[in-house]
Structure 1
């Protein structure tokens, strides 16, 4: 039983490191790092609809898209020998860009803090964790009762 707990903790730490690398790529505007973390057949499910790897990396064309982030309440579920689901609550601030990109005097604005719950499925390929699926669910505002049981 001790061994199972250690393996679960180790898996959680490995997936948190992989997921954090995706967030850091968004924070640093690092298209190559974002692309490297996502499988070629990556599927994202977002409030705006479905997205693939190119859609995910395209958000970085103008530079970083996230000013800051935090991963909280992380948990892991093994789905097989080399596949696992990481679920967590993320708080973050997006970077808003001016409508007119040609106006150099306009500064980037940072949005108010937002929160969402994320479920990411990762598969280990050649010893490296690759994100194959992610779904974001907007979190209820603080203090609002949860309508689910």
Structure 2
């Protein structure tokens, strides 16, 4: 190409290369992280079966009775009946269960899980029964429902 001496050449500047930005992707990932953290449940104790077990399963074995400590979970239903090992108990039989388990396992840990619809008096009665039986390691577990 031959240029004339008085002519000027106009060149268009090349557009800058498009950079891929990671900022929008990071924003979306943080939003998803917060969403899944808020909507997930961390503790679901309803998955523990509360059904009647056979007599062989409820008998303590020698390995559990010789253990330094054990755990007994008492669930209080909406009707106020305490349930342990898949069986409902009235207060005198619950006290007998505590005494039996305390003889086998002196460092017995009792977890009381009241239902959200359970009466407060039922919880206090179970706690009093455990105290009369000599239980010193008692915890009340409270489940919160996500709304």
Quickly name the TM-score band, shorter chain normalised. Answer: under 0.3
Higher helix residue share = 2
**TM-score, normalised relative to structure 1:** 0.23
Higher strand residue share = 1
**TM-score, normalised relative to structure 2:** 0.23
Which structure's CA Rg is the greater one?
Answer: 2
